[in-house]
Structure 1
Amino acid sequence: MNSHAVATRRSLYLAKNDKIRIRVKCKGVVSKPSTGVDGGGPSTRSRAKWKGKDIIANKGTCPWAVQISRANENQDWLVKTVQDEHKCLQTRAVKVCTSRYVANLIVQQIQSNPKIPVKALHEDLCKKLEVGMSLQKVTRAKSMAERIISGDYQVQYGFLRDYVLELLNTNPGTTVRIDVYPETSLSITIRPGSWNC
């Protein structure tokens, strides 16, 4: 759903989301031309005031919708209803284009060029996706992508004992010792050592 919303630049949302049904609708703004008698006359659009200026509000509902469901939790999803015609206007403010979504898009780009500046990444994403996003969102997405690539250091450190047990199981008679030094100063970084014999 997120990929389709970003690719088509539409405001899609989950109208129904449970274990056996998902319904996605579009809540984009539909442009309706003003109609009068014989093409002339007063407009039927409503007017609102905002800071002393007249704003013409002419919202309709977009008919685009997709419904998928399954009989129970163990079965595959089936598409039941597709109304694939958008009557709404495209937008650059797509709500589902989150930093997590952008991070998954840029993982390969960060892997090939980890020192790419955030501004260059921002320009590339705005040009490629044609969606407006802030520089802060791209910064968060880049840090998430770096964590996806290198892994979380605390999680990797937690696997160290499992690695030692695996070494002992695959190489019987081996001695493995893990030394951990307490951090004495913030400016000096001491990494734990591991020796295999």
Structure 2
Amino acid sequence: MCREYEFKVGLEFKTLSQFKDAIKEHALLNRRDVRYKKNDKLRCRVVCKGQKGKCKWICFASKVGGFDCFRIKTLKGKHTCGRSYSGRLASSEWILKKIINNISCGEEMRLATVIQTIQDKYMANVSVGKTYWARRNAMEEVHGRAIQQYAKLRDYCVEILRANPGS
């Protein structure tokens, strides 16, 4: 997604979480502060939190009857508020999704590098604590996979010996 992308009424998403992720990504790219006003399994209303409620931007998506998708049904106005650099929407899970590819490629990412990467692309101020947990969980996910693979190595050797005696 890029900064210039605009949501339109009728845009469909496979799941509600996909809609929320798209809204979060768009808000962070465009430095907006949004919140979920009405949020349940069938619908989600997102409003702008900027300028103490003066901004009238609203986006509402709900489940389409008879289908397993969610559609934007209401999209009101453009943002009239100023930019927000708080990074409140940038959760540790979101940061993890942004850095896991770099870590899986073997890149050594220090906390300062992760924070700088997020600030460069999204201009969001993220805390050291969020960054620490995101990097730690990403390392566990990447290296945990390797540890699980090494645990299967003995079974692989036994299978080779069974299938090809004398190996």
Q: TM-score, normalised by structure 1?
A: 0.59
Selected match of 1:174 from 156, 162, 167: 162
Q: Would the aligned equivalents of 2:64 and 2:71 in 1 still touch at CA under 8 Å?
A: no
Residue segments in structure 1 that go unaligned for 5+ positions in a row: 30-58, 176-196
Deviations 1:7-30 (A, max 9, x none): 11111111111222111111111x
Which has a greater percent of helix? 2
Q: 1:86 is paired with a residue of what secondary structure?
A: coil
1:97 alignment counterpart:
90
Is 1:137 equivalent to 2:159 in the alignment?
A: no
Q: How is 1:1-197 mapped onto 2 (pairs within 5 angstroms)?
A: 1-29=23-51, 59-72=52-65, 74-151=67-144, 156=148, 164=155, 174=162
Highest RCO, 1 vs 2 (Cα 8 Å, sep ≥ 6):
2
- Which has the greater radius of gyration? 1
Q: TM-score, normalised by structure 2?
A: 0.69
> In the aligned structure 2, how far is the partner of 1:108 from the partner of 1:27?
31
Q: 2:50 is paired with a residue of what secondary structure?
A: coil
> In the aligned structure 2, how far is the partner of 1:126 from the partner of 1:71?
37
> In the aligned structure 1, how far is the partner of 2:155 from the partner of 2:67?
38
Deviations 1:133-172 (A, max 9, x none): 1222222111121123233688x38x85xx959x86xx8x
Residue segments in structure 2 that go unaligned for 5+ positions in a row: 1-22
> In the aligned structure 1, how far is the partner of 2:26 from the partner of 2:77?
12
Q: Would the aligned equivalents of 2:43 and 2:62 in 1 still touch at CA under 8 Å?
A: yes
Kindly tell me: are residues 121 and 75 of structure 1, through their superposed partners in 2, closer, same or farther at Cα, counting changes over 3 Å? closer
Count residues in correspondence: 141
Amino acid at match of 2:100: V
> In the aligned structure 1, how far is the partner of 2:49 from the partner of 2:87?
11
1:189 alignment counterpart:
none
Q: Aligned-pair distance for 1:114?
A: 3.2
Which has a greater percent of strand? 1
Identity in percent? 24
Structure 1 segments, 4+ long, off by >6 Å, are none
